[in-house]
Structure 1
Amino acid sequence: MVELGIPLWQLQIATSIGIVGVWIGWRGGMSKMIGFYDLPTATRLLLYGFFSGALYQFLSSSLVLDPIWSGTGLPIVESLLLTFSFSLLTMFLLTRQSVRVLNGQPTAGWTFGLGAGSMLVVLLIYRLITTTGAGFLTSGFGAPSMLFGLLLAAIVPWSMAIIASWQGWNALEGRRFKPAIKAMMLHTTLLFTLAIGLNYPWILPAIPALIFLGQKRADEVWFVAGLSPRMKQEWIRLQRTGIATGVRAVAADEESE
């Protein structure tokens, strides 16, 4: 039997906190798009995010985070290769026909990032619980670690959602490879910030500041870019009245008919 290092119920709590990040990022990030995004595709990409995030957090731990925390080196090359592969995977998933048919790349990217980010949060909380002597702000299972975990759940999935949504918007505009390189740099920066932030949490407030800027851009440009002219007019009208309609279920070219 595989030894987890902690009781199963503690791992379940860590996982639950990570998934809370999905709710925070979904409600906080896409609240203005209720009724205007492709819900089935967004849900499917969320599941892809969970699966991809499980692999991503494992590789992030073994290749990037653990070497930094143990003081054995600064794995820049490994982190760049890992995040570039993840960015290419993101772009591949967001350019599939099932996503493109409803111009759902930005919102699908958002939910994919939420799923992947929540899995990364599970890893970070697990390390907080099990790691001693690494100089983390808090360690062991207790209220301080859980509160720190909730903070991470509020910012990490949201950050990765913004990056993936930005990639989706670029895919919608016909740009693929260059945005993947930029996304690689963003993911690498996020990983190093989190690695250092567990020891020096005073650098973590930089992430919410960037979330604010990214969210503003998503609301004004990325999400709206996938709407047809008629749907865009309806969206603007409903934002003024505060009323939302049902989930969008037809392709963009059909909406104009």
Structure 2
Amino acid sequence: MEITELPQWQFQIAMLIGLITFTMVWARGMRRYTPIQDLSQAYKALIIGFIGGAVLASALDIWVFRRMYEDLAQDALYLVEMGVLLLLAGWAEGALCVYLCSRSERKVTSAATTTGYAFGIGSAAMTTAVAAVRIFDPALASIGSDVHGFGVDTIVVSILIGVAAGFTFAPLGSAQGALVRHKIRFTPLVITGTGRAAVRLCIYLAVLVSPVALGFGLALALWLDARANNRWLPSSLTPLQLRVERRIIKNRNLGHSDNEEE
């Protein structure tokens, strides 16, 4: 694959899209827990997610994305071989997530779910940034990709990639964390690793072939986000934390009513 030397500002925009992914997913899932939980382990997992996600995204860019590009250039695509590599990457990421969740649960009670969620956010942000760099490459036109080069359409597709990655990787991490609290590790690792692999395959096909391939990833993101916010993340709250949350909400509502009366 001949890599086009993109201008520096396009790399910066790609990184900005990755940070937008981080902001969206964090605001959606973690805002509720910031005032009532100790998130020190989640912040550490977020940093590890950024670093590990960048390394994994770069490795998959070489081992999977470029080979898919070369296969498409020759009018052939060997998805089985690529799928095996993506599965191995997904399971490796899942294993790291299990380790971080188990470690955080030993240090801070009920921290596993938010730790897994934060780790997924970091990984998704870096996956999105690398995918955005690739979709900005005008060389994709040579294999008939529906979107290529820098423009409004590729920026929109990059943001959709961020939505698909962020709202699947983070909830999958929270699911692993919730089950780690019940001493269940291996089965969630296999299932969530497979889910991560499927979403990454959708992202690569969206960049190389057509954004329509993102449909599965976005549908999965909607379902997983609902499960995470209604089941997996709230499972970490203790009765005391729930009482504190209710008191915070009550005080906030009283403050709003006082302001309206004034």
CA distance in 2, matches of 1:97, 1:125: 32
- Match status 1:121 vs 2:128: yes
Higher deviation after alignment, 134-143 or 22-31: 134-143
Alpha-carbon distance in 1 for matches of 2:62, 2:11: 19
Following superposition, the deviation at residue 116 of structure 1 comes to: 0.6
- The 5-angstrom pairing of residues 224-235 of structure 1 reads 224-235=234-245
Matched, 1:216 2:222: no
After alignment, is 110-119 or 75-84 more displaced? 75-84
Identity, in percent, stands at: 24
Deviation at 1:83, TM superposition (A): 1.4
Which of 95, 113, 130 aligns to 1:88? It is: 95
Tell whether the 8 Å contact from 1:29 to 1:158 is kept in structure 2 after alignment. Answer: no
Question: 2-side partners of 1:143 and 1:99: how far apart?
Answer: 46
Task: Give the residue type in structure 1 aligned to 2:242.
Answer: K
Counterpart contact for 2:38–2:111, Cα < 8 Å? yes
Provide the residue aligned with 1:194 in structure 2.
203
Count of residues paired in the alignment? 241
Range 22-31 or range 136-145, more displaced: 136-145
Is 1:161–2:170 an aligned residue pair? yes
Instruction: Provide closer, same or farther for how the CA distance between residues 101 and 40 of structure 1 changes in structure 2, counting only shifts above 3 A.
Output: closer
Q: Which has the higher contact order (CA 8 A, sep 6+)?
A: 1
Report matched runs for 1:1-257 at 5 Å: 5-71=5-71, 73-74=78-79, 75-97=82-104, 100-130=107-137, 131-132=139-140, 133-198=142-207, 199-235=209-245, 237=246, 241=250, 243=252
Larger helix share, 1 or 2: 2
Q: Is the 8 A contact 2:105 2:112 kept in 1?
A: no
Specify whether residues 145 and 59 from structure 1 end up closer, same or farther in structure 2 by C-alpha distance, changes over 3 A only. same
Letter of the aligned partner of 1:28 in structure 2? Answer: R
- 8 A Cα contact 2:17 2:159, kept in partner: yes
Contact 1:63/1:79, CA 8 A, preserved across alignment: no
CA shift for structure 1 position 73: 2.3
Change (3 A) 1:99 1:66: farther
Which stretch shows the higher mean deviation, 149-158 or 65-74? 65-74
C-alpha distance after superposition, 1:41-78 (max 9, x if no partner): 22221111110001110122122222223325222222
Instruction: Find the structure with the greater CA-based Rg.
Output: 2
Structure 1 residue 154 displacement after superposition: 2.6
Give the whole-Å Cα distance in 2 for the aligned partners of 1:150 and 1:178. Answer: 31
Alpha-carbon distance in structure 1 between the residues aligned to 2:224 and 2:136: 31
TM-score by length of 1: 0.84
Deviations 1:86-134 (A, max 9, x none): 1111111111147642311111111111111111111111111224223
Q: Normalising by structure 2, report the TM-score.
A: 0.83
Structure 2 residue ranges without an equivalent (≥5): 72-76, 254-262
Paired with 2:145 and 2:22, the residues of 1 have a C-alpha distance of 25
Question: Once superposed, what is the RMSD of the aligned Cα atoms?
Answer: 2.3
Unaligned ranges ≥5, structure 1 = 245-257
Is contact 1:128-1:136 (8 Å) kept?
no
